[in-house]
Structure 1
Amino acid sequence: MRLTRRTVLGSTGALALSGAMPAFAGRSRAVPDLWIGTGGDGHTYPGATVPFGMVQVSPDTDTENWANCSGYHRGDPSIMGFSHTHLSGTGIADMMDVLVVPARGPVKLRPGAPDKPGEGYRQTYAQESAEPGYYACTLGNGVRSELTAEARVGWQRHRFPAGPGHLLIDLGNYRDSRPGEGPLIDDSRIELESDGILIGSRRTFRWAKGRRIHFAMQVSRKPDRITLHAGDQVVNGAIATADRVRAVLHYDDAGSAPIVVRTAVSAVDMAGARTNLAASASRDFDAARRQAIGDWADALKTVKIDGGSDDQRVVMATALYHAMLAPTLFSDVDDRYIGLDRLVHSVPKGEQAYSTYSTWDTYRTLHPLLTLVAPDRARSLVRDLVRQTQQSAYGPPCWPLQGVETGTMIGWHSVAIMAEAAAKGIDADYAAAWPAIRTRAFDAKAPDLVNSRARGTYIARGYLPADQVDESVSRTQEYAYDDWAMAALAAKAGATDDAARLRERSRNYRNVLDPTIGLARPKLADGSWLTPYDPIQLGHIKRYHDFTEANGWQTTFLNQHDLYGQIAHFGGDAKFAARLDALFAAPSTLPKDAPPDISGLIGQYAHGNEPDQHVPYLYAYVGQPWKTQALVRKILTTMYKRAPDGIIGNDDCGQMSAWFVMSALGLYPVDPVAAVYVFGSPLFTRAELKVGGKRKVVIEAPGNRVDTPYVTAVTWNGKPWTKSWIAHDDLVAGGTLRFTMSATPDPAFGAKLADRPPSFGRPAA
């Protein structure tokens, strides 16, 4: 529907959030603190979105620095404005599309330096407020700005002081190119339609090279005049085209009434953005805000908790919130989307397309969490991944962003997401994806990206030589895990011989583990081990890092699927346990060239980055789960806190947060494809999970306190449970899992071979 002055002005009063969010009230329903992760290296944003929404309308304090990958960093001295798309927790910046700047005084087309508000259109800001689905702040020019969102539409409401003001819409809000780079923006357009709607688009070359975004924008008050700018030149007419374009909406008395801006986006075309805008369900800003609040209340009530401290409950609520931001909706309301072949496709009715799959991170815990508490969403995502696998020239996706395969990180871990879903009985056409997956698995001449570098060498040799291939040790092990996942998908597709071949190949991880020293170690093309070797270092020469965002210590335990094979390779339970002990006891020293991703150290264990995050749970495989319990509780209580720097590393599209949620529940998917959860140390006295339909799981730990990290007994539906793990199928059938907690460990619990978790499709022998 069209937004009118009457509908906007009829509901401009402030909405009391405390009265609008009854679902978050009470001791077990803590309100998420959206500032958690916005400082330090968390890289989250505080702006408004809905669960898995296409639009994330949020403040931008900068678009360029490491700290501002999400567009925002807590404590930055100035603000640029409010844009409509953002990434949560990533280590690379992109998006931040369609920037709106509420301004007064002379028109300024450039933002200026971050530490010099007023030099350009940057301003100071204060009085920030953020809740799920809503953000507000007061700008230095006196404008009070509020943000809310629908799935495909962002809402902004700006209250100007009396007198003139203007809205700048900037499609050129990235820096100019540096020497040796191509343009970051090479083609932009803004057009004023006859009905007063602004439409436009731009093509960008940041992370996702050649990504296109389109928008349609409607304002509640007709401007007194509009000027369009192509570069720095004013355009005579209704259309501006250039590499960077801007529009300025001038109001002679901007303060006479609030100005509401409603903006829809589309990756398909401007017509798609207009269709998304027309389909907006809300009649005004406050209605949109109430709907967003309700959407979040419904999503977050899938997990209820009791016990713990006030701050721990807030951290838990926030972690669940962050775990429901991505992947992001990518199909328009008319079902169209851009595939990884850069062509327009339509999803089947009732389904959706998605973007922002950080698969190297999220296959580990985020997707397992969704299969547990949001199975319908998990099914929608895996069906989308099947389609993307069919459409991409590279087969199974690695890191797709807005219709572009970025190839970021290593491996092609969407196969793990699909294999896990298949193992958990989530319905999708896995056989339709298998031909493209098979090409990735066996055809050495199939096209590669950085993530799959030297795949043919891996297929031929069974490992990657450190004197020929960058990140050879990590690549070998992660390619092996993808072999394991592809084996499961081959079996699902009925390709029995392929499955057997891939299962055997998945044990290639051993080829870069030196059993004589019990460490991952670079292997050279002649088959010899790298000598001399220091596992603290990242690589043996400047040209090559031997590991991916890790060193030899952290890469030693990358294997997730063949734990008993690795235990045997290292000489048995005692030696493997000793290696784990050594990892956590080693000095926490890193080389000078270590990336900031290696953070959250306990010894050489790095919780702030993904490769290690299953490692505390490995003690269960040698019959020492009490060590897992102590470590997990320590990580839960020291690596996460209620503060802007409360996430110890990049949240990576919710992976760090999902680790907290799962571990605080007392469960962890060491090998997601195995469809089992290893027990850790539950943080709360009680949790209730909705697990699909009317089924629920209750997790109890009566009397649980900060000084009782150890599990001494477990019951499942009232019966003794001696295993240190539980299968997904058992859990989602519903029931009560009860932990008896203690201040002292019980070495007997989970120690027997029969009680240890399965691995490589079998329990411990």
Structure 2
Amino acid sequence: MNVTRRQLLASSAVGLTLAAAPAGARGRAGAAPNLFIGTGGHGHTYPGPTLPFGMVQLGPDTDVERWDACSGYHRTDTSIMGFSHTHLSGTGIGDMLDVLVVPTRGPVQLLPGPREDPDQGYRQRFSGEHAEPGYYRVALESGVQAELSVTDRVGWHRYRFPKGRGHVLVDLSHLVADSPRGRPLIDEAALELDADGTLTGGRRVFRWAKGRRVFFAMQFSRAPDRVTFYGDGDAEQPAGTRRVAGKRLKAVFHYDDAGAAPILIRCAISAVDVAGARANLAAEARHWDFDKVRRSAQARWAGSLGAIRVEGGSPDQRTIFATALYHAQVAPTLLSDVDGRYPGLDGKVQRAPAGEAAFSSYSLWDTYRALHPLLTLVAPERAKALVDDLIRQTAQSPYGPLVWPLQGRETGTMIGWHGVVPIAEAHAKGIPADYAAAWPAIAKRSFDFGAPDLANSRGRDFYDRLGYVPADKVNESVSRTQEYAYDDWASAWLARAAGADADADRLLKRSGNWRNVIDADIGFARPRFADGSWWKDYDPIQLGHMPEPDWRDYTEANGWQASFLNQHDIYGLIAHLGGDAKFEAQLDALFSAPSTLPANAPPDIAGLVGQYAHGNEPDQHAPWLYAYAGAPWKTQAMVRRLCAEMYRNDPDGIIGNDDCGQMSAWFVFAALGFYPVDPVEAAYVFGSPLFERAEVSVGRGRSLVIEAPGNGPDTPYVVAVTWNGRPWTKSWIGHSELTKGGTLRFTMARTPNRAFGHAPADRPPSFGRTPA
């Protein structure tokens, strides 16, 4: 069985006022992010503070049981359990929520109690919730005013208690629950109070990332009057206990007059050991000035969010854009300590070279499509840091190319080995790196069918021998075949960079295997069996030829969506389906078919326009495919519609899981007016810009200005384009052009110019060629 996101995890937010933009982000940016966008519905984001790509992702936890609370937070909940130091943003599986801190008053409660009845445990109702990049505050019903901020590896808390007794509970057993309800999946944990009052500890967790470890070092600005420890079974340990070990551990810091002065907490974490957490704390917490930390965090975000400044559009559109740009810079997350150490995917402690860093939370099945391409454009230095890390971790992993690594563990979630795509993309875009160092591991995954395997890469031997993954041998076979083919396409360029030309040729040829699961007679992706026959009782809305929910022929998709998975050989697909007119008609049918799904469809297939599902990744490039058939005006209309219908300035404002920023990055690109259909091609297909003007920093002091004078909701069509003042007839533009800086000017209209981009010579490149 292939492990997918669904199978691993079968408050009314008060005061959702937008924060004022930091000084560096005001002016033409026009809006600050609304960090509550995506915290409702199925967005799975969280509103707590972090730094761009930071290790600590601090924030409030409201629930650990529902799928819609994968991040630990959902805006419909009415109580907060406490504040933990790690979260996942927009994922389809829950994990993390490490080192929960609960500031409260009254009798000590050791369990949170049910969400439905907050009075039973240490949960607290709340009001006055406020979030902005790098800062969060809320008023708890106990009277505690809570504030949070962060440095890269340290979470900072400031709690103002009313006069009188109060306490701070540190719950090391808190995590995303699994069946049976509420059972912690922790096999070892420890807490220890040092002579200087520092609380240290760690645990090993078996949830999604099986066996991941987290350690922490926590200091309080005010010494408590006493500390009590609780071991397994919530047994209070004898007075004077300074160390406890077990699985379900807690510590309580008691204050006889908690309100005498604010209680500040600074807590560093490490995925390596307690020593790493201590070193992180010593490096990033040299004072007790909470407001200084907050100002620094705001300044960091102002710089990152200032990479793109927009004018025009509606206030809501500008807020959505700012929030999307924020969410696109939350993950991947920093993994290495200040000394460069991190847990390697080989189970060993590794060390990043001086000046480099290791990262985690690579949601690669999602983010290779738009998030990594966005960073290559607006944050090339960050993209360089990530590609260096991807190459290094690829070489270290026993499985080769990364799939979905989390905290030093390869979860193997989803299909393919898409870690090769951002590496190949970076190579195509000229980012310097040691690409050859990744090739031996990529070659092993590509050609050694006896190598250590994960569920994500099953059926590679069939794929190589038959040219496809047979539906009667391996589940999700249709999607696997096409996604393996795309990874072959990306890997071929890395083979060429390593001087392995014969391997490159073999991979390029094999990247055409997508044809073997597209039945040209009916025009759809279709399950195919080992004997070469097709599934006869075919219905494109179905998930596969077998009724069992764990055996599907597509990955989080059906026949409609999987028919357009091809990203790298679109002219080959057009020819396979009968030419431009038939391909265009098939796209029309995708967007106009009845939006019906079978009963066993996963919730990921969301945001339907016809059978196109914007709420999930497999066909998010499909609206842009019209340009390859010479009808870019249809791309323009559809992209503008999706921007309007699939994103809102509301907690339920992202139509599906944000998936570590992929959904948000899609919106950023769409709003700018172009999109990387195939990141490895290093080209962007034009759509319909949302704003009248955008200024994009593209590195090395260069700026890309995008103009669309008079643009509005009734002018979705691009009738002409100029690049640096010269007419531009193509419906696409290369990455190398945009990163030179300059002015890209769109002339917008109410009606389409069907001649623009129609000529074969003006269509986007695919598979290294145009149809001209």
Q: TM-score, normalised by structure 1?
A: 0.97
Aligned to 1:260: 264
CA-atom RMSD in angstroms: 1.4
Aligned to 2:37: 36
Aligned to 1:723: 730
Q: 1:576 aligns with which of 565, 574, 583?
A: 583
The code of the aligned residue for 2:628 comes to Y
For residues 182 and 411 of structure 2, the distance between their equivalents in structure 1, rounded to whole angstroms, comes to: 17
Aligned to 1:9: none
Aligned to 2:502: 497
Aligned to 1:235: 237
For residues 235 and 693 of structure 1, the distance between their equivalents in structure 2, rounded to whole angstroms, comes to: 59
Alpha-carbon displacement from aligned partner over 1:651-679 (angstroms, at most 9, x marks no partner): 00000000000110001000000000000
Aligned to 1:412: 417
For residues 17 and 174 of structure 1, the distance between their equivalents in structure 2, rounded to whole angstroms, comes to: 30
Note if 1:347 corresponds to 2:352: yes
For 1:377-396, what aligned pairs fall within 5 Å after superposition? 377-396=382-401
Aligned to 2:53: 52
For residues 467 and 334 of structure 2, the distance between their equivalents in structure 1, rounded to whole angstroms, comes to: 38
Aligned to 1:368: 373
Note if 1:741 corresponds to 2:743: no
More moved, 651-660 vs 182-191: 182-191
Alpha-carbon displacement from aligned partner over 1:687-716 (angstroms, at most 9, x marks no partner): 000001111100000110101000000000
Q: 2:561 aligns with which of 551, 554, 559?
A: 554
For 1:623-642, what aligned pairs fall within 5 Å after superposition? 623-642=630-649
Displacement of 1:25 after TM fit? 2.3
For residues 603 and 680 of structure 2, the distance between their equivalents in structure 1, rounded to whole angstroms, comes to: 30
Q: 1:308 aligns with which of 300, 310, 313?
A: 313
Aligned to 2:479: 474
Alpha-carbon displacement from aligned partner over 1:626-657 (angstroms, at most 9, x marks no partner): 00000000001111010000000000000000
The code of the aligned residue for 2:245 comes to T
Alpha-carbon displacement from aligned partner over 1:119-142 (angstroms, at most 9, x marks no partner): 011111111000000111111111
For 1:49-88, what aligned pairs fall within 5 Å after superposition? 49-88=50-89
Aligned to 2:136: 135
3-state secondary structure, aligned to 1:276: helix
Aligned to 1:12: none
Displacement of 1:75 after TM fit? 1.8
For residues 123 and 115 of structure 1, the distance between their equivalents in structure 2, rounded to whole angstroms, comes to: 12
For 1:4-403, what aligned pairs fall within 5 Å after superposition? 21-174=22-175, 178=179, 184-231=185-232, 232-236=234-238, 237-280=241-284, 283=287, 284-403=289-408
For residues 32 and 455 of structure 1, the distance between their equivalents in structure 2, rounded to whole angstroms, comes to: 43
For residues 323 and 378 of structure 1, the distance between their equivalents in structure 2, rounded to whole angstroms, comes to: 13
Displacement of 1:235 after TM fit? 2.3
Displacement of 1:399 after TM fit? 0.1
For residues 17 and 465 of structure 1, the distance between their equivalents in structure 2, rounded to whole angstroms, comes to: 52
Aligned to 1:710: 717
Displacement of 1:323 after TM fit? 0.2
The code of the aligned residue for 1:405 comes to E
Contact 2:399–2:453 at 8 Å: present in 1 too? yes
For residues 529 and 349 of structure 2, the distance between their equivalents in structure 1, rounded to whole angstroms, comes to: 45
For residues 54 and 408 of structure 2, the distance between their equivalents in structure 1, rounded to whole angstroms, comes to: 16
3-state secondary structure, aligned to 2:382: helix
Displacement of 1:179 after TM fit? 5.9
For residues 230 and 170 of structure 2, the distance between their equivalents in structure 1, rounded to whole angstroms, comes to: 10
3-state secondary structure, aligned to 2:422: helix
Note if 1:750 corresponds to 2:751: no
The code of the aligned residue for 2:378 comes to V
Displacement of 1:180 after TM fit? 12
Q: 2:701 aligns with which of 694, 700, 713?
A: 694
For residues 183 and 23 of structure 1, the distance between their equivalents in structure 2, rounded to whole angstroms, comes to: 44
Q: 1:507 aligns with which of 497, 506, 512?
A: 512
For residues 39 and 197 of structure 1, the distance between their equivalents in structure 2, rounded to whole angstroms, comes to: 37
Aligned to 2:4: none
Contact 1:379–1:427 at 8 Å: present in 2 too? yes
Alpha-carbon displacement from aligned partner over 1:510-543 (angstroms, at most 9, x marks no partner): 1100001111100011101101111101122133
For residues 29 and 338 of structure 1, the distance between their equivalents in structure 2, rounded to whole angstroms, comes to: 41
Count the aligned residue pairs.
750
Alpha-carbon displacement from aligned partner over 1:163-197 (angstroms, at most 9, x marks no partner): 10100000111377636999611111110011110
Cα separation, partners in 2 of 1:593 and 1:328, compared to 1, 3 Å: same
The code of the aligned residue for 1:658 comes to A
Displacement of 1:460 after TM fit? 1.6
Identity of aligned residues (%): 66
For residues 513 and 175 of structure 1, the distance between their equivalents in structure 2, rounded to whole angstroms, comes to: 40
The code of the aligned residue for 2:432 comes to D
For residues 83 and 118 of structure 1, the distance between their equivalents in structure 2, rounded to whole angstroms, comes to: 21
Contact 2:198–2:219 at 8 Å: present in 1 too? yes
The code of the aligned residue for 2:246 comes to A
Contact 1:282–1:288 at 8 Å: present in 2 too? no
Q: Which runs of 5+ in 2 are unaligned?
A: 1-16
For residues 40 and 19 of structure 1, the distance between their equivalents in structure 2, rounded to whole angstroms, comes to: 25
Runs of 4+ that moved beyond 4 A: 16-20, 179-183
Aligned to 1:600: 607
The code of the aligned residue for 1:306 comes to E
Q: Which runs of 5+ in 1 are unaligned?
A: 1-15
